Structure 1
Amino acid sequence: MMNNFYSFIKKYKWPLLSGVIVGTSYIPLPPWGILFCYLPLWWWLINKAENRKEAFVAGWVTQFSLTLIGFHWIFYTANVYGQFPWYLSFLTLIAFCTLAHIYIAITSYCFFIFKEKCKTNLSQQLIFLVLAHSLAETFWPGIFPWNLGYTLLWAKLPMYHFADLIGFLGLSFFLFVFHFMFAKIYFSNKSVSSKAIQSTLVVLGFVLLNLVGYLHGEKWKITDKELNVLLVQGNIGNIEKFMAEKGRNFRTDILNKYISLSQKGLNENKNVDLLFWPESAIPEFLNTNYRLNKNQKRLSEFLSSIEKPVLTGAFSKDDSNPNPESSVYNALFLLDKEGKELAMPYHKTILLIFGEYLPLSETFPILLKLLPFIANFGRGPGPSILPLPMDATKGDFALIGAQICYEGIFPDFSAGLAKNGAEILANVTNDSWYGVPFEPYQNMVMTLARGIEVRRPVIRSTNTGISTSIDAYGNFANFSPMQTEWAGVNKIKYLNNPPKTIFTDWGKNFWMIILIAFILHILLSINYEKFRKS
């Protein structure tokens, strides 16, 4: 058996190497291989794969290894959130690694068919791989839709500024274009000196692109408004939070902790315009018709004493809805200095499967009893704005675009907020179920990246870290410590009535250009021999 395993690894060592390079180049690690990470797989597919099955297996080996490295935190989530024993958590991780990015295997399989059916040269084969991988990356229905483009923001490579034109998926496509250029150099039979010269030119091209990106982003340094936000990180334990959300104790203790941390933060920072508490910081209903509840009265008294508004995650209840499940929402409330709602609470729209809704639970209610740790929230109306009065007598409001956790990683949602007039994006999150350090950094960067695409500052308040903000230019504020109680002020500089970016209007549909190019490439390649002979 060991001999078979050794033979398998020996045969697929290059696809395995690709997975290792991708996994070790993604957040939170330095992106050392983002210009060439898939080249070992591509070389193997072009030169070594003998049939479709081998091509599929090669792609599968790459996706399995990169997932195991970059998303190993699934084990922790299954163990802590799913309450699985360690061996089931391990099996969950293996199952996730087996299927999470299977599109790489499917793309490899399709490539071999393309190579079989069409008599193509190296350039045509590489173009197919670039376009097919970019499209698969765009359309694959993953729970955590990452791409290589995010590494540019993480590494502060100024090329990220082009995200306001084509988004981070578009940037990922251009990183594959660099793959193409390096593959053309190193998959050919050129001399060592020739390869060295051409590689240098490609690297200089990458440097030039970053220089142009730097110049492109300069105009977004200009702001005309300022909001001082006190971020409060409660670091509430998973058991306490779970029990409180189910209505079993800890609710008062949790509220008192946020009040205490906020008071401490205010004592250290006098100039604060808004308190910002994370997702479900108040694990009970904050609607106006629940104002007489003990903890809501306590919150109102605290806000009156400090004369500050608060933006906080909590639960919302629609009493007009008779369904006990769909009438409860994961919500974001903007409360004034007396604890009254300044606007209708925002109800989360994009719910996390198996975390915030259980498929088929309406048809088979017994599923909710078998899996009590899974919430089953109602679904909100879509991108919504919460107006914060700065000087109501002059009609001066800071227009806050609300995001709850998972919604921050979807470009279309933030583009919708920008179209609706948001001047600032506010994201509340609870990452306590994912461990440290990989997922908190990955989720943070993917969320803050929305601020570059739509050129709005993003503030992010989390339960256990990382709480921080990013301005429209791309400057990160200091990161809060993870797994620690913390409070700190972020000065949010923003534009009043900022313009919409090209990405907001149509750049998020950049995939259409790739799709058209892919279809044309297939059609031309099919008829390549006819064109060549004629």
Structure 2
Amino acid sequence: MHLAILIAIGTVCAGIGYANPLLHFPLAALGFPLILGLIAFSARSPRQAFKRGWIVGTFSSLACLYWLAYPIGVYGGISWLLAVPCPILMAMAVGTYYGIYTFILSFAARRLHPFMLCIFSGTLWATMELAQGHFFTGFPWMTFSSAFAYWPESIQGAAFLGAYGLSGLLISITTGMLVWRTSNSAKTWTMSVIVVLVCLGTLRTEPEKFSTLKVTDNATIGIVQGNIDQAQKWDSKFQVSTLKKYIKLNKSLPGKADLIIWPETAVPFQIQNPSGLRVALFNSSKNSGIPLLTGAPGYVLHPNTKTYSSYNRAVLIDPDKTTLEWYDKSHLVPFGEYVPFGKYLPIGKLVQGVGNFIPGTDASPIQSGNLAMGILICYEGIFPELAQERVANGANILINISNDAWYGKTSAPYQHLGLVALRAVEQGRYLIRDTNTGISACIDPLGKITDSTELFVDAAILVKPRLLSGNTFFSSNYALITYGPLILTLLFSIWIAIGSFVSRGKRNQ
């Protein structure tokens, strides 16, 4: 098939398969790995497979990541001349993973039985996504299973295999479709996987099924979406009006809450510093009698050097406590909240709008009444290991505060929501997501969005999550399930390499 046709099909399938505001049809996403598999199986050589896989992967990634130019160009302090190429460069980098996938799969197709090829393609893809989540600080935004997050029935496998493992299982189905006519065992495998996923989606109607999860209590939480213009957010002239708006939205909540949540950096001033704004904020919490969890900037002063470290912080203001509790964001956004290797790279003028935050080190839950809150700030919600750490530390609910105003009305807020929904399924916890401009939501442990807001509207809603203890199969066996595909991929690769060496030796005799 002509390369241009492969590019067109892969790009369209990825563009409409992953979440977006125009046309989202998750099943179309299957066309993307189908094209990559077709490239791997039809290429004249693994080298050609890499080249074609990288090109198709780059265009398909760009269809999903085009929005990167918006926050960089509008808010990043970087000229559009430099901002526009950024998503292209990112897509090229992400495309490299798909090129490597098709390269290895092309090599394996010459050595493995079709049935084994189905399994290997799945473990290889899961390993690739694991690498995407860790190399160069990690960027697992294109996690394949996230394309199906808006169909909760289709992602129940994440409670057993995690998002990466579920992606691998879906990829093995596409490989089975490609080798369908060549092997009865591959047919059996493919149909069996489909049946298992359908049964899970049908039978897993409560999170307690097939797990050790137990409901321990109920809670009522107020989600407040301030809808503050990003261009005004850090302008001191708007600090008073911003605080007044949030306090007014608090009062508009339709009932009594156990906790009120404001989004990431909703408070545009230093809570630690004495000020009239601080007094107004604390008085509001005291008068309502309701604890408030809010995003805010924070810092630690170093007296000896007369310097300070800045943090992206979630702060609990409890009217019944005399001290503040907080969580500092631990996984920062590169070139957004810090510059990687900034001391050594002479690019200060190019990234003058980038923050200079320090990562936090404590992932312990913040306690408020019966709530043990595992906090994920913004981008942290897309990393499985961070949610795993919070639940392992005792969280009975996950809280994701974010500021998606950066992304405008692009695909990013929809994709972001789909990614964090996977954390709820993996961990068997309700996930409360509060964002500045939307989409704010309550997501149950089955990945269902029980309540949500619209983009770019003022909103104050009450949600009633259940608090759970116990573990899913995935969270109980996290290390084995997460790194198992990597081990299997290495074993398969050794097997293939030995087979290739033996075959070459026989030809030379």
Sort the TM-score into its range (normalised by shorter chain): 0.7 to 0.9
In 2, the alpha carbon distance for the partners of 1:66 and 1:298 equals 49
Q: CA deviation at 1:123?
A: 4.9
1:233–1:461 CA contact under 8 A, matched in 2: yes
The share of aligned pairs that are identical, in percent, is 26
1:513 maps to which of 445, 459, 484: 484
* Residue equivalent to 1:18: 10
SS of equivalent residue, structure 2 residue 157? helix
* Residue equivalent to 2:298: 316
* Residue equivalent to 1:393: none
- Superposition pairs of residues 120-519 of structure 1, within 5 angstroms: 122-123=114-115, 127-140=119-132, 141=135, 142-157=138-153, 159-185=154-180, 188=182, 202=190, 206-216=194-204, 218-220=206-208, 223-243=215-235, 248-265=236-253, 269-287=254-272, 290=273, 292-320=274-302, 327-337=309-319, 340-343=322-325, 345-362=326-343, 371-389=351-369, 397-495=370-468, 498-519=469-490
In 1, the alpha carbon distance for the partners of 2:310 and 2:489 equals 44
1:404–1:429 CA contact under 8 A, matched in 2: yes
- Superposition pairs of residues 47-126 of structure 1, within 5 angstroms: 47=42, 49-113=43-107, 119=111, 122-123=114-115
Q: CA deviation at 1:39?
A: 2.1
In 1, the alpha carbon distance for the partners of 2:183 and 2:198 equals 30
Q: CA deviation at 1:324?
A: 7.0
1:471–1:494 CA contact under 8 A, matched in 2: no
SS of equivalent residue, structure 1 residue 378? coil
Q: CA deviation at 1:484?
A: 1.4
> Aligned partner of 1:167: which letter?
G
In 2, the alpha carbon distance for the partners of 1:85 and 1:340 equals 46
Taking a change above 3 Å as real, the CA distance of residues 408 and 323 of structure 1, as seen in their structure-2 partners, is farther
Q: CA deviation at 1:209?
A: 2.6
2:67–2:412 CA contact under 8 A, matched in 1: yes
Q: CA deviation at 1:64?
A: 1.6
Q: CA deviation at 1:515?
A: 2.5
2:40 maps to which of 45, 70, 76: 45
> Aligned partner of 1:283: which letter?
P
In 2, the alpha carbon distance for the partners of 1:323 and 1:175 equals 54
Taking a change above 3 Å as real, the CA distance of residues 17 and 113 of structure 1, as seen in their structure-2 partners, is same
Q: CA deviation at 1:313?
A: 0.5
> Aligned partner of 1:376: which letter?
N
Q: CA deviation at 1:218?
A: 2.5
Taking a change above 3 Å as real, the CA distance of residues 225 and 371 of structure 1, as seen in their structure-2 partners, is same
1:15–1:41 CA contact under 8 A, matched in 2: no
Taking a change above 3 Å as real, the CA distance of residues 105 and 471 of structure 1, as seen in their structure-2 partners, is same
For residues 2-56 of structure 1, give each alpha carbon's deviation from its aligned partner in whole angstroms, at most 9, with x where no partner exists.
xxxxxxx944423542343233211242211344532233223322x23444222
Q: CA deviation at 1:368?
A: 5.2
Taking a change above 3 Å as real, the CA distance of residues 85 and 138 of structure 1, as seen in their structure-2 partners, is same
In 2, the alpha carbon distance for the partners of 1:22 and 1:340 equals 51
Q: CA deviation at 1:208?
A: 4.6
1:277–1:461 CA contact under 8 A, matched in 2: yes
2:149–2:419 CA contact under 8 A, matched in 1: no
1:75–1:89 CA contact under 8 A, matched in 2: yes
> Aligned partner of 2:245: which letter?
K
In 2, the alpha carbon distance for the partners of 1:444 and 1:339 equals 33
In 2, the alpha carbon distance for the partners of 1:476 and 1:425 equals 14
Taking a change above 3 Å as real, the CA distance of residues 408 and 12 of structure 1, as seen in their structure-2 partners, is same
SS of equivalent residue, structure 1 residue 318? strand
For residues 254-283 of structure 1, give each alpha carbon's deviation from its aligned partner in whole angstroms, at most 9, with x where no partner exists.
111111221222xxx232221110001112
For residues 75-123 of structure 1, give each alpha carbon's deviation from its aligned partner in whole angstroms, at most 9, with x where no partner exists.
21222122444444332232222223311112223344556xx655555
Q: How many residue pairs get matched?
A: 492
Compare CA radii of gyration and give the structure with the larger one: 1
- Provide TM-score, normalisation by structure 1: 0.83
> Aligned partner of 2:278: which letter?
Q
Taking a change above 3 Å as real, the CA distance of residues 12 and 169 of structure 1, as seen in their structure-2 partners, is same
Unaligned runs of 5+ in 1: 1-8, 390-396
> Aligned partner of 2:148: which letter?
L
2:430–2:465 CA contact under 8 A, matched in 1: yes
Taking a change above 3 Å as real, the CA distance of residues 98 and 41 of structure 1, as seen in their structure-2 partners, is same
SS of equivalent residue, structure 2 residue 149? helix
For residues 193-232 of structure 1, give each alpha carbon's deviation from its aligned partner in whole angstroms, at most 9, with x where no partner exists.
xx9xx69x95685245322344345353863422211111
Unaligned runs of 5+ in 2: none
Further displaced range: 373-382 or 129-138? 129-138
